[in-house]
Structure 1
Amino acid sequence: MLVFYSGYGNKELDNHIDGQKLPRAKADYIQTVINDAQREPNTTFTGSGYTSLAIIYGVFSASNWAAPSIIAGLGPKLSMIAGGILYCLFLSSFLKPMTWSLYVGSVLVGIGAAVLWTAQGNFLTLNSDPDTMGRNSGIFWALLQFSLLFGNLYAYFAFGGEAYISRHTRITLFTVLTSLGAVGVIVMLALRTKVQSDDSSVSSDERNNTTSHGPLQAFKRSLHLMCTKEILFLSFGFAFTGFELSFWSGIYGTCVGATGFFGDEAKSLIGLTGIFVGVGQIFGELRESTLIDIYSLLGFLYSEDSAPAFAIYKFMQSLASAAAFLYSDYLLLQWQLFIIVIFGTMGTLGFFVVELSANRCQARDYAAVADGADRESSE
C-alpha cells in the first residue's frame, strides 16, 4: 500500500509534466509553450525553453550531491513533500510567464527534483526487502507511467486545431497541472513515516538508516560510492537513461510540433506522440525495465545506505540530460541517436557485470547460511 501511495502521489505530481525529466516535466511542452508565449501581444517575455531546461538539469545534477544530506535531516517523507512543493511553484510560474520567474523556477524545480527522486528511491528501499524490491519498483514505475497517458490525452484535445498555444489554453493547462501537483503533495501526506519491523530485535534506528547518519556523513558516503567499481560500471547505464529521456521527453516531440507538414495539428500531435510513448512504456517496458532494474539493483546493493546511491544515479542521469539539451541545438539528429546507442550498449554491458557479481555474492551468502544450518542440525 505504501508503494501504491508513493507511486500514485508521484503520478499526480508528474501528471504530464516528465523529468526525472523536467525532471518528470514534459520538456516538449515547456519549449513549445515558451515559444508561443513570446508571440503574445504586448509581452516582454524573452525566456528560452532550452536555457530553462539546461538550468533545470544543471541544478538538478549539482543538487543530487546535497540531496542525501537533506534526506538525512528531514527523512524521506518530508523530503518528497518539500520536493513536490517546489514542482508546484515551477508549474505556477507559467500562469503568467516572466523571464525572471522562469529561470528562478527552473532553479527551484532542479533542487526539488533532486530531493524528490532521491527521497522516493530511499523510501522505496526502506519499505522493501530483497524479495519485494523488484516487485515494488515495478508497481511504482507502472503507476508513474500512467501520467503520460492522462496528461498527453488532455494536451491532445486541448491543443487540437491550434496553430500556437493561446494565453487561455496555457492558463487552463497549467492551472490543471498545478492542481494535480498539489493533489500529489497531499497524497504524500498519507504515507507512513517509517515501517515498523516485525522482528523486535531490529531497532527503528537500524531500519531507518537514512536518519541514522548525519548530513555530513551522507555527503561523504556519496563521494566514496562515486569511486567504487560498481558505480563506475553502472555510470554508463545511468548516463544512457539521461540521454534517452531527454530525447523522447524534449527533442522528439519538439521536432514533431515544429514540422510544418502537419499544419495546425502539429501542436496536438505532441500530445499524441506522448500517448503512444506512454502506452509503449506501460506495456512494452523496454525503457522502464531498465529503470526498474536499476532501482532494484541499487536497492539490493545499498539497502543499508540507499540515499547516496540513488543520488549518484540521479546526478549522472541529470548531467547527461543537461548535456543532451545543450548539444541538441548543434548536432544533427542522427548523431544524437548515435550517442544514445553507444551509451545504451556500454550501459547494458556494465549492468550485466555488476548484476552478475551481485548474484554471485548472494549465492555465496545463501550457501554460507545453508552450511551453518546443516552444522547446527548435525550437532
Structure 2
Amino acid sequence: MDKSVLSVGVLGLGFMLLFTAFQTMGNIEKVVIDSIARDDTTFSGDGYVSLAIIYATFTICNWLAPSVVALLGPRGAMRLGSLTYCIFTASFLWPQTWLLYAGSALLGIGAAVTWNGQGVYLSRCSNSSTISRNSAIFWAMLQASMLLGNAFVWREFSGKTEINVDTRTLLFSVLVVVALLGVFVLFGLPEHKSAHKPGRPLAEIHSAMKLLVTPKMGLLSITFLYSGMELSFFSGVYSPTVGFTNALGAKHLVGLSGVCIGLGEVVGGIACGLAGTKLRRDAILFGGYIFHAIAFATILINLPDAAVFGETDATSLLNPPSAALALVAAFLLGLGDACFNTQIVALLGGVFASQSAAAFALFRFMQSLAAASGFAYSTVLGLRFQLALLATMGALGTLAFWRVEWRTRAEAETICTETEKKIPKEHGGSRPYSISAKMYSARDSRSGTVWCTIYDGIGKNLVPKIGSWLHSR
C-alpha cells in the first residue's frame, strides 16, 4: 500500500475515534445540560455558552498554534492536543458549572494545536494530484464518527423524554474510552518530512499575519466565516432544535438527526473524493451550497422558531411537523458541509503548499471565530433569523471561493504559457496542452516554485521534459 494512503488512513482512524466522543458531545450537549440542570438546581451551565467558549478559545489560540506545530512537529502537536478532548469529555462525569467552562477553554486550546497539526500533516502526505483524494478520504473517516457516536445516543435515548443520571454516566464513560483509543492511534502516525524548510516559531506567526492581508486570503475569509457559521448550526444547534420540538416526540430524534448528519458527511466525503479528479473545486463547492439552501428551506417550513432556545409546543408552517423531513434536512446539512470543507482544504493544500501551517491556521481562525459567534447568537436569535443569515453568507462565501479558484487557474495558465515560450522544442516546447481537472506539476528544483500545472493534451510526457529542462538551467 502507498505510504501516503496508509498515513491518511491512520490519521483518519485516530480522528474518527477522537471525534466520536467530541462530535457526539457537541450534538447532544444542549439537551444533556438542560437535563442536568433539572436534576441539580446548583448547576447553571449552558450548552451554547460551553460551545462558544470552545470555539472562542480556539480562535485566539490559532495564532499561536503554528508555533507549537513548528516546535513539536505535526505529529507531536496532534498527540498533545488530542488529550484535551479526553479531559473535556470526562468532565461531564462530575457536572460542575466551573468545570464545564474550564474544560471548554482547555479543549479550545488543544483543538487549535490538533487541527493545525492535522492540516500540516495532511499536506505533507499529499501532492497537487492527490490532495483532493486524501482530503476526501480523511473527511469521510472523520465524519463516520457522527454515525458511530450518535447511533449509540439514539439507542440510549430511545423512548425517553428525560435523560437521567444513569444514562448520562454510561454515555460519558463510553465516550471517554473511545477518545482515549483515538489518542493511542495518533501515536502510531508514520513520519513524513516536509518538502519545505521548517519555519521558526515566531516566523510562522508573522507569515500568518502577512498571508491574512493578501487578496486571495481576504476573499477566502468570507468562505471560512460561512463554514464556521454552518458548523455551529449543524453540530450544536440543529439537533437540539429537533429534540426541543415537542410535536416531534421523544428525545431519540436528537441522536438520529446526528446519524443523518454524519451519513451526509460520509457520503459527501466519498463523492468528493471520486469527483475530485473529474470536477473542478468550484463546481463541487457550488453543489454544497445548493444542498444547504434546500436544507434551510426545509427547516424553515418544518420547525418552530422558538425551538432553538428550549422545549416548545409551537409549530411552523407544517402542522404537525415531519420527523422524516427533519432527518432529510440533517442529511443535506452534512452533505453540503462535506462539499465545503473538502474543497477548502484541497484549495489551501494546493495553492498555499509552502505556507500550509499559516494557511490552515487562518482557516481555522476564521472558521472558529464564526462558530463561536454562531453559538453566542443562538442564545438570542430565533431559528428563522439564523436561517436567513446562513443563506446570505453561504451565497457570498460561494462567490468568493469561485473568484479565488478562477484567479488561481488564470495565473497557472499564464505561467504555463510563459514557461513554454522559454522551453526548447527538444524539451517539449510549443506542444499543445490545456488546463484541466487532472493536473501535473513541474517545479524549479532550486526554489521550489511551481512553474506550471498542466495536462498534456497528447500524452503525459510534457511535464517530465519541462522538469528536466528546469533542472538543467
- Runs (4+) off by over 3 Å: 364-379
Separation in 2, partners of 1:157, 1:304: 46
Please name the residue that 1:328 is paired with: 378
TM-score by length of 1: 0.90
Distance in 1 between residues matched to 2:364 and 2:132, nearest whole Å: 19
In structure 2, how many angstroms separate the alpha carbons of the residues matched to 1:363 and 1:184? 43
- Is it true that 1:5 corresponds to 2:13 in the alignment? no
- Paired with 1:74 and 1:143, the residues of 2 have a C-alpha distance of 25
Q: 2:364 aligns with which of 299, 307, 314?
A: 314
Residue 440 of structure 2 is matched in structure 1 by none
Matched, 1:270 2:270: no
Aligned amino acid, residue 232 of structure 1: G
Q: Do the aligned residues in 1 keep the contact of 2:48 with 2:236 (CA within 8 Å)?
A: no
CA distance in 1, matches of 2:25, 2:220: 26
Mark the runs of 5 or more structure 1 residues left unpaired by the alignment: 19-24, 196-205
Aligned to 2:465: none
Distance across 1 between alignment mates of 2:151 and 2:181:
19
How far has the Cα of 1:344 moved from its partner?
0.7
Give the letter aligned to residue 345 of structure 2. Answer: Y
Which one scores higher on RCO, CA 8 angstroms, separation ≥ 6?
1
The 8 Å contact of residues 126 and 207 in structure 1, kept in 2 or not, is answered as yes
Deviates more, 1:314-323 or 1:360-369: 360-369
Letter of the 2:35 counterpart: D
Shift in Å, 1:77: 0.4
Q: Unpaired segments of 5 or more residues in structure 2? A: 1-5, 269-334, 430-468
Deviation, 1:54, is 1.5
Q: What do residues 285-325 of structure 1 show as CA deviations (whole Å, max 9, x unaligned)?
A: 43211111100100111111201110111111111111111
Deviation at 1:374, TM superposition (A): 3.3
TM-align CA RMSD = 1.8
TM-superposed deviation, 1:166: 1.3
For residues 85-124 of structure 1, what are the structure 2 equivalents within 5 Å? 85-124=83-122
The residue correspondences of 1:79-90 to structure 2 (distance < 5 A) are 79-90=77-88
Contact 1:16/1:152 (<8 A) preserved? no
- Whether the 8 Å contact between 2:48 and 2:378 is mirrored in structure 1 is no
TM-aligned CA deviation for residue 372 of structure 1: 4.5
Task: Tell me if structure 1 keeps the 8 A contact 2:21–2:176.
Answer: no
In structure 1, how many angstroms separate the alpha carbons of the residues matched to 2:264 and 2:351? Answer: 29
Aligned residues: 358
Q: Which residue of 2 aligns with 1:153?
A: 151
In the aligned structure 1, how far is the partner of 2:158 from the partner of 2:228? 30
Partner AA of 1:283 in structure 2: V
Distance 2:421 2:173 in 1: 62
Higher alpha-carbon deviation: 367-376 or 177-186: 367-376
Q: Is the 8 A contact 1:72 1:213 kept in 2?
A: yes
Say which one has the larger Rg.
Answer: 2
Distance 2:381 2:241 in 1: 14
Aligned residue for 1:15, secondary structure, equals helix
Aligned CA distance change for structure 1 residues 161 and 128 (closer, same or farther; 3 Å): same
Aligned match for 2:210, one of 224, 237, 252: 224
What secondary structure is seen at the aligned counterpart in 2 of 1:93?
helix
Residue 82 of structure 1 and its aligned partner are, at CA, apart by 1.0
> How many angstroms does 1:7 deviate by?
1.0
Q: Matched residues in 2 for 1:287 and 1:190: separation?
A: 29
Shift of residue 368 of structure 1? 4.6
Q: Counterparts of 2:20 and 2:224 in 1: how far apart (Å)?
A: 24
Could you tell me the percent identity over the aligned residues? 39
Q: 1:21 matched to which residue of 2?
A: none
1:215 pairs with 2:201: yes
